[in-house]
Chains A and B, each alone.
Chain A
Amino acid sequence: MSWIIAALAVWLAGGILSAAMPRGSRGGTTIGALSAVLGAVLGMPPVVLAIAGQAVEVLRWNWPAPYGEFHLELDALSAWFMAPLLVLSALSAIYGHEYLTGGAGGHERKAAGPTWFFYNVLVASMAVVLLARNAVLFLVAWEVMALASFFLVTFEDEQPQVRDAGWVYLVATHLGTAFLLAFFLIAGREAGTLDMTKWTALNQAGGGVCGALFVLAVVGFGTKAGFMPLHVWLPEAHPAAPSHVSALMSGIMIKTGIYGLVRFLSYFENVPAWWGWALIAIGLSSGVLGVLFAQAQHDLKRLLAYHSVENIGIITLGLGLGLVGLNMRQPVLALLGFGGGLLHVVNHALFKGLLFLAAGSVLHGCGTRQIELLGGLVKRMPWTGACFFIGSAAICGLPPLNGFISELMLFAAGFAGITHASATVSLSGVATLGGLALISGLAAACFAKAFGIVFLGEPRDQRAVHAHESGWAMVAPMLVLAVACAGIGLFSPWVLAAMRPVLSQLSQLAPAEVAFQLGGVELMLAGVAFGAGAFLLALVLLNAAFRSKLRRQKTGMTVTWDCGYAQPTARMQYTGSSFAQPLLALFEPLLQTKQHRRPPDGLFPKAANLETETPDLCRSRLFHPVFMELNRLLGRLRWLQQGQVQLYVLYIALTLVALLAWKLGGN
């Protein structure tokens, strides 16, 4: 634990130091990025040991906060989430060091010190969230995490849409925290303690209470994770934040919601079946709707943000299958569900981190995130293009990359469910196969668009023509992530072996039992690894054959064939909107894309245009009316607000007296 404490200390000290640096000096940036990397390196050894299932490390300090205790614990589950946090925070820091000083969107005018302060605080608070075993400590860290990320999101606060995004995020995260507050109060009351290591006592609580706790946890943690329809802050906040922060938020921060949910579920020996079904339903609806809304976006980072909703859905589907497996005493189904879900947590951190960093590199090199203005970047930004391509293939769940492995485990869970005798278990399998196949098919369509329109073809705008590749400090972290994506895909049997301790913790099976039950899965992953190796071998051999053949033959260069038309221009290319149109038309009832069109008019039409936008339906149809109504109702209480401090002090005193009277009267 001393290593972890050292890491926390480095993050905090580095953050404070970088904030204290004088404005205009580059010291703040350097110190901030350096401390983020150093902290991550320091934290790594104990995390690796904990993933391997070594003894759980505990640290308990007294803390004067009421009911509070500085109680940290590093077990396999915490470590499984800590590992991607450390890797991605270090890589994003290296990237961010150049990204913020390189001047994308006028960053150089800003004082970098404070953002590095918040960056380090965000990393440290996420680590504490993952390690905390005291409810008060958890909530404090949770709130610090929310605030630090809020200040990072509003980095470019001179832009109105960034301020708006920050506001939406702040409201959403605090609404989620309100549910969590209720959750922790009820759970602490039922368990008789706020020491979360003793919360297995919740098993003795009644079914109704546990059900209420589950709903509170799903809403509270789900807001952070981005379950449909609680996801509304994601597509606002992710595009607004600087790209390395988007990578960290999308890769890790939303996973703290998943972590909270998993931690809560791990306390129960017997889970009701409906919890599993609820998570499967949430997972599938978030997955399908997330990818559909992603397809409709024109902003590259907004598209990626909706894909986070989709991937959170896939993770949640895995957790739901795991719960159904636990409930029906089907260890293989439980292990495949939890295993696929947890592996997707890590995989998503890697490929979504990679994609956000690459999107930031595009923004850095072209100055725009609008998909319709870009094109042909793979020639101007070869490294970014290759990295985005690998990230795209990974997120679509294509072999031989890591996304395929986690989706493979979930598909296998679906097949394991389908072949089970019980009709209810089979139904979960049917839902998984159909839903996950649709999600991955739609994701492939969406990333064919994102990669194809942005990186291939001809530039659609001068900004894309003059694009330039980013420096090595931005490219190197992307390359590391791309290699990690390929590595997990090719060496999956070893990754599965590393998952045994955390799976044993979640499925409540003895390690030996887990190893035995995972035998079939190991065989599957070995087969897939063999297939992936065969693919790479075939690719290399065929490529060599074709290249040598073509070198000996006459090859020419010309324009793209366009029915004999010799002067094709970039404007004649298919656009992202036209690529997505057939799909969006089919799902029109769900998406309600708005079209603003000015059709060609008259005998000699001069100008015509078509604009489409797909606003978030949940935001405009669900939350907007509710909040307007709330605003109206609360407006009636406005007379309470006089603007005089004395009055407010009086309110506080009255409240305290009332509470005191209630407490005394109750006894």
Chain B
Amino acid sequence: MAGLNWTSLLSVIAGIALAPLLPGIISRVKARFAGRRGAPVFQLYFDLWKLWRKGAVYSRTTSWLFRAGPVAGLAAAAVALLVLPFGSVPAPLAFAGDLILLAGMLGLMRFMTIVAALDTGSSFEGMGASREAFFSALAEPALLLALGALARVTDAYSLSTMYGALSFGHWWSLGPVLALTAAALVIVLLAENARIPVDDPNTHLELTMIHEVMVLDHGGPDFAAIQYGAALKLWIFSTLLASLLLPVETGMPALDFACTLAGVFGVAALVGIVESVMARLRMVLIPQLLVSASVLAAVALLLTLNPVETKAGRPAFKAAQAGELQRPDSAPAQKADGIDKPTR
């Protein structure tokens, strides 16, 4: 486990403080595309503050699970943030296998939202819950295979080690692999965060929604928790993608940090562009999109499998890079990666 350091803490604080900016950026970009001025980028902060001060109305059908859902979802997202590296800045909590904890926490958040939706007994929310459960089941393999491709490329399976080892050199030597992985991550990001082309958060028809329809009955502070949790989730996925697309490592933590932050905002802008130029897919086409994300990630992985092994027992591409890929971590950390590696 990497020790606590100030930059790591700073990245968590940045996530907590800046996550609500991302939906603002997206809607601003969309507004510009539509020729409007758009709402302020800080709109979600205002909304959250307004909701937090409001009361709440509960359906008589609901039980304790309805009230537990938003809170547990927010707690799970916060823990996921703990293992999330920010570019080359390691996460406060880092260990081999932490990416599975990240996936697990996001799964828990989703499960709680679905359960809370079903607790209302409304057919709208049942519809949303059914779709969310279905689509996320198909997105799960894509996420893990994409992370698996990154693990294969960087020879580690701790998020902090993986993203720490990633450099522009990888894009030079393994461009197609990383491009396919990034494409898979983009699709997963759009699907998991209820964005076009999978889901349209701004439609006025509940029948066609997925995430928004699940939270129809939440109000007041509960709804604030859900909105904020969704923003955190978007932040997490954007960071995973931005750190892959911009693996900067200048040696100056502050500069790295700023670059990654710019990358995260860039990903949000990218989502805004996608939303502006595309329509939502028909519901029956979404499974195909999600399966294609898994296929992209699997192809990326297969591209890294080199049956021709060099003398040292390592695939040719890895041996070729061994020189430029001096990983900073020490021997015990390699042990923590859980593989006994042949000596170089």
Would A444 and B110 be within 8 Å (CB), given that A399-B104, A421-B313, A560-B121 are in contact?
yes
- Flag whether B259 is at the interface (Cβ < 8 A): no
**A440 x B63 contact (CB < 8 A):** no
Interface size range of chain A in the complex: 35 or more
Residues of B within 8 A of A566 (CB): none
**B96 x A399 contact (CB < 8 A):** no
Residues of A within 8 A of B65 (CB): 378, 389, 456
Residues of A within 8 A of B62 (CB): 560
Q: Which of B25-33, B34-42, B216-224, B270-278 contacts A (4 or more CB under 8 A)?
A: B216-224
Q: Give min CB distance, B93 to chain A, whole Å.
A: 6
Q: Of A434, A558, A578, which is within 8 A of B59 by CB?
A: A558
Q: Give min CB distance, B80 to chain A, whole Å.
A: 9
**A452 x B71 contact (CB < 8 A):** no
**A579 x B340 contact (CB < 8 A):** no
**B1 x A523 contact (CB < 8 A):** yes
**B148 x A418 contact (CB < 8 A):** yes
Q: Of A427, A453, A560, A583, which is within 8 A of B122 by CB?
A: A560
Would A458 and B222 be within 8 Å (CB), given that A412-B97, A419-B157, A441-B141 are in contact?
no
Interface size range of chain B in the complex: 35 or more
> Which of A577-627 touch B at CB < 8 Å?
578-583, 586
Residues of A within 8 A of B99 (CB): 415
Q: Of B83, B151, B221, B302, which is within 8 A of A546 by CB?
A: B221
> Which of B132-172 touch A at CB < 8 Å?
133-134, 136-141, 143-145, 148, 151-152, 155-157
Residues of B within 8 A of A20 (CB): none
- Flag whether A570 is at the interface (Cβ < 8 A): yes
Residues of B within 8 A of A423 (CB): 305-307, 315
Residues of A within 8 A of B74 (CB): 538, 542
**A561 x B96 contact (CB < 8 A):** no
Residues of B within 8 A of A655 (CB): none
Q: How far is the CA of A633 from the CA of B287 in the complex (A)?
A: 47
Would A559 and B118 be within 8 Å (CB), given that A396-B111, A398-B111 are in contact?
no
**B63 x A378 contact (CB < 8 A):** yes
How many pairs of residues, A versus B, come closer than 8 Å at their CB atoms? 318
- Flag whether B107 is at the interface (Cβ < 8 A): yes
Would A557 and B57 be within 8 Å (CB), given that A411-B100, A415-B157 are in contact?
yes
> Which of A524-578 touch B at CB < 8 Å?
524, 526-528, 530-531, 534-535, 538-539, 542-543, 546, 549-550, 553-563, 568, 570, 572-574, 578
Q: How far is the CA of A415 from the CA of B95 in the complex (A)?
A: 13
Q: Give min CB distance, A376 to chain B, whole Å.
A: 7
**A527 x B140 contact (CB < 8 A):** no
Q: Of B118, B152, B287, which is within 8 A of A586 by CB?
A: B287
Q: Give min CB distance, B170 to chain A, whole Å.
A: 15
> Which of B234-264 touch A at CB < 8 Å?
none
**B100 x A412 contact (CB < 8 A):** yes
The secondary-structure label for the interface of chain B is: helix
**A550 x B133 contact (CB < 8 A):** no
- Flag whether B9 is at the interface (Cβ < 8 A): no
> Which of A426-456 touch B at CB < 8 Å?
426-427, 429-430, 433-438, 440-442, 444-445, 448-449, 451-453, 456
Would A520 and B337 be within 8 Å (CB), given that A399-B104, A558-B57 are in contact?
yes
Q: Which residue of A lies closest to B288 (CB)?
A: A586
- Flag whether B3 is at the interface (Cβ < 8 A): no
Q: How far is the CA of A539 from the CA of B123 in the complex (A)?
A: 29
> Which of A387-425 touch B at CB < 8 Å?
389, 393, 396-399, 404, 408, 411-412, 414-416, 418-423
Q: Which residue of B lies closest to A533 (CB)?
A: B79
Q: Which residue of B lies closest to A527 (CB)?
A: B95
- Flag whether A332 is at the interface (Cβ < 8 A): yes
Which residues of B line the A interface, CB within 8 A? 1, 52-65, 67-68, 70-72, 74-76, 78-79, 82-83, 93-101, 103-105, 107-108, 110-111, 114-115, 118-127, 129-131, 133-134, 136-141, 143-145, 148, 151-152, 155-157, 206, 216-217, 220-222, 225, 283, 287, 294, 298, 301-302, 304-307, 309, 313-315, 318, 335-340, 342
Which residues of A line the B interface, CB within 8 A? 330-333, 336, 375-376, 378-379, 385, 389, 393, 396-399, 404, 408, 411-412, 414-416, 418-423, 426-427, 429-430, 433-438, 440-442, 444-445, 448-449, 451-453, 456-458, 517, 519-521, 523-524, 526-528, 530-531, 534-535, 538-539, 542-543, 546, 549-550, 553-563, 568, 570, 572-574, 578-583, 586
Can you report 20 residue pairs joining A to B where beta carbons are below 8 Å apart? Answer: A330-B339, A415-B96, A419-B152, A434-B145, A437-B140, A441-B107, A445-B133, A523-B1, A523-B96, A524-B97, A527-B94, A538-B78, A557-B58, A558-B59, A560-B60, A562-B123, A562-B124, A563-B206, A579-B133, A582-B283
